[in-house]
Amino acid sequence: MAKRIALTQLSSCWGCDQSLIDLHLRLLDVLPELEIVYWPAVVDYKLHDLENLPDNSIHIGLVEGSCRTKEDMHLLEIMRAKSKILVAWGSCSVFGGVQGLANQWDLKELLERKYMKAETVTDPRIPKENLSGFTEHIVPNPELVEVDVLLPGCPPTSDNTLDALTALLTNKPFDLPAKTVCDQCPMEREEKNIKQFKRTHEGKIEPGKCILDQGYLCLGFATIGLCGAQCPTVNTPCKGCFGPPPAVTDHGAKIISALGAVADMDPEELQNAFPDPIGSFYFTDYASSYLSKMRGKNRGKKK
């Protein structure tokens, strides 16, 4: 018998949904097993379609995005109540995502920047109507409700989502691997004395050689190995979008300590090489690293 599944978006870019759709004909392998009861990214469902379902009546609920608005919070809580297995789907959902970088500022500053100070603003007032109620900070979904499965990635690859769905539909566990992107990468890290870090436009990355060894920030050593090293294998540095391996609580701290070990540079030089350390070292997981530090809790731990 087909199992009920719901897929929803909080504040997000739709990329995780797109990645699933990118399965194309391979979706047919799982579609006969699924009864899709809510997927507004693809079909014109309404919120009340989800609200009216009985609690625990959805076998698997996938939640993309993080809670930037009160509406997002409502949707997340409903998905939790209706789903037997709730999956935090994508790095926004697991860690807070790129929008978690906004936690560097308070809500008032963010609203002023967007509505009053942005270069394109012609009427500098914060609108009083038609604004969603915003959350004060981005808090990763596993810190807000109990989440059963974490599937990071920005987005998770199509195969990641297919693998997770296949495992959950057959009552098998879906565990995150301990390996890193470097473990999946065909290149070998050898250099221990990096003398300079460059932005990608400041040089030419030589194919077939470790990108980090060449002095470009490639974060494969501190990033969970789920994507198959898809960036370094096409000569592009890993930005760490899948977040850290499960044992690492603070992605940035791990990166900084590892860079200290391979760079033959004094601390000031190293600091100056990265003018935006938070953006560089916590691309999708600043909200979770920040919270873990603030609360002394492990990321992703069930409530």
CA 70 to mean position of chain CA atoms = 20
- Under the binding rule (CB under 6 A), the answer on residue 244 touching ligand SF4 is no
Tell me the C-alpha distance between 43 and 6, whole Å. Answer: 11
Q: Give the 3-state secondary structure percentages of the chain, helix then strand then coil, rounded to 5.
A: 40, 15, 45
- Which residues within the stretch 52-111 sit at the binding site for ligand SF4 (CB under 6 A)? 64-65, 90-92, 97-98
Asked if 235 interacts with ligand SF4 (CB under 6 A), we say no
Nearer to ligand SF4, 13 or 47 (CB): 13
For 84-103, b/e burial (b = at least 16 CB within 10 A) is ebbbbbbbbbbbbbbbbbbb
Q: Using CB under 6 A, which of 150, 185, 255, 287 touches ligand SF4?
A: 185
**Interface segment toward ligand SF4; rule CB under 6 A; list 114-122, 199-207, 216-224, 267-275:** 216-224
Nearest to 81 by CA among 73, 89, 93, 70: 73
User: Within 10 Å of residue 171's Cβ, how many Cβ atoms?
Assistant: 7
Q: How far is the CB of 151 from ligand SF4 (least distance, A)?
A: 10
For ligand SF4, the closer CB: 9 or 83: 9
Contact between 160 and ligand SF4 by CB under 6 A: the answer reads: no
Please report where in the chains the tokens 């920005």 appear, as a residue: 154
13 is a contact residue toward ligand SF4 (CB under 6 A)? yes
Positions that interact with ligand SF4 (CB under 6 A):
12-13, 15-16, 64-65, 90-92, 97-98, 154-155, 181-182, 185, 187, 189, 210-212, 218, 220-221, 223, 227, 229-232, 238-242
